[in-house]
Structure 1
Amino acid sequence: MSIENSTIALAGMYQSAKLVRDIARQGLIDQEPFEASLNSILKIDASSVEDVYGESVALKLGLQTLCKQLGTGTKRTLEITHYVLGMMILERKLIKNNEMLDKIQSGVEAIKAKTETLALSDPEIIKDLATLYTETLSQFNFRIKVNGERRFLDNPNNADKVRALLLAGIRSGVLWRQMGGHRLQLIFSRKKMVKIAQAYL
């Protein structure tokens, strides 16, 4: 465990949060970071943090967002902070619920098997990930409220992408905690994490 590894995992959360906001506000997202975030869900038995996300370029958006959100003198987006904190709350609830953890793992394994014949970005795969989120994490008494343009959020494909990204963000949240991440770091280790993110960039 190291602050470098927890920073990478935190960038994974920020990437998912930024993409959720982009869908909700603009109806559009950059495909490369979107697929990198989805791919992280499928890396159940990864041997390292790097293995979860692949090359650091796959997390470029997340690292940039982390620097903007935690850096000094930068304009923060409260919605992104709200989504990341929500992911952390759901991660805490999930980790205490073994039955739900098992259900998510089984669901992810079934979806991973499907990606042998379907592309990760196929609407059927995204819908399966969204359904897994709906049937598990959104059953908790706490839910992440996504704000945005109703015309974008009412689009079923966008709604599926948002739920799949929230699942990816919470997956990163589990990894962040495993790597020694904790909320106090967001207060006391901000400068260090920004430096680490800048070095990766």
Structure 2
Amino acid sequence: MKDRTLALAGMMQGLRLVQSIARSGQADEADLAASLASVFRIDADSVEAVYGSAHLMKTGLEILVGQFQGGGQRDGSLGKMAMTVLSVERQLNARADLLDALQEGIIEAGRQREHFGVTHPTVVARLGEVYANTVSRLSTRVLVQGDPTQLQQEAVVAQVRACLLAAVRSAVLWRQMRGSYWDFLLRRRAMVDAARRWLAT
């Protein structure tokens, strides 16, 4: 459950970045770097290694606690996006052609990352293109609400797509850790406890 919770927190952090960028064109730089870096760690030895450190997913873990505890901390639009991302990941997993194209695109973007850095506009733009050419071709799409002025800017759209790709990466990881929709119905308290343990370490 602990690893599954961290993967879900990674998805939440990616989606919170999507919200922030779509609404204001701004995002926490450390959170952005951590989320985008997870896209490139395809063969990591552990769930925590995918993110570099659980500490780098602090925002996502805090969001997860707030979402599952309810009350004033719950964000309905974020929860809706999260469920859509999980549905998108299931569809993506059934498309070998898109998975191959996704891997090729990430490898190419990884070469650019080595040269420029993970949050450089060139790398972000490439990740955005990868998302548009693979995940966006599925029948289900993640609807992003924000400031229309921001969402008309190419750089903002690229960042949004790159962060959505990071969220999908975490959704893949969650499924690999045997995550299921039952977690949201029956295991919320266990995930809150796991998230708090991660936050305490």
The answer to whether TM tops 0.5 is yes
Alpha-carbon distance in 2 for matches of 1:26, 1:62: 19
Equivalent AA in structure 1 for residue 172 of structure 2 = V
- DSSP-derived class of the 1:145 partner: coil
Identity of aligned residues (%): 36
Q: Which of 133, 136, 139 pairs up with 2:137?
A: 139
Q: 1:125 aligns to what? A: 123
- Which residues of 2 match residues 29-178 of structure 1 at below 5 A? 29-178=27-176
CA contact (8 A) 2:112 2:122 kept: no
Please give the secondary structure, in 1, of the residue aligned with 2:43. coil
Structure 2 distance, partners of 1:66, 1:39, is: 20
Deviations 1:43-86 (A, max 9, x none): 01111101100111110110011111111434311111121111
Distance across 2 between alignment mates of 1:162 and 1:116: 21
Give the AA of the match of 1:91: E
Select the structure that is richer in helix.
2
Cα distance in 2 for residues equivalent to 1:86 and 1:160: 19
Listed as ranges, the gaps of 5+ residues in structure 1 are none
Q: In 2, are the aligned partners of 1:129 and 1:167 still within 8 Å (CA)?
A: yes
**For 1:74-123, what per-residue CA distance to the aligned partner results, in whole angstroms no more than 9, with x for missing partners?**
43111111211111011000111111111111111111122221111110
**Partner Cα separation in structure 2 for residue 74 and residue 177 of structure 1:** 29
In structure 2, do the counterparts of structure 1 residues 127 and 111 end up closer, same or farther at CA, with 3 Å as the change threshold?
same
Write the deviation string for residues 161-182 of structure 1: whole angstroms up to 9, x where unpaired: 1000111100100000000111
Partner of 1:194: 192
User: 2-side partners of 1:152 and 1:77: how far apart?
Assistant: 21
Query: TM-score, normalization: structure 2?
Result: 0.96
Structure 2: runs of 5 or more not aligned: none
The AA in structure 2 aligned to 1:36 is: A
SS at match of 1:116: helix
What's the TM-score once normalised by structure 1's chain length?
0.96
Decide whether the 8 Å contact of 1:86 with 1:143 is kept in 2: yes
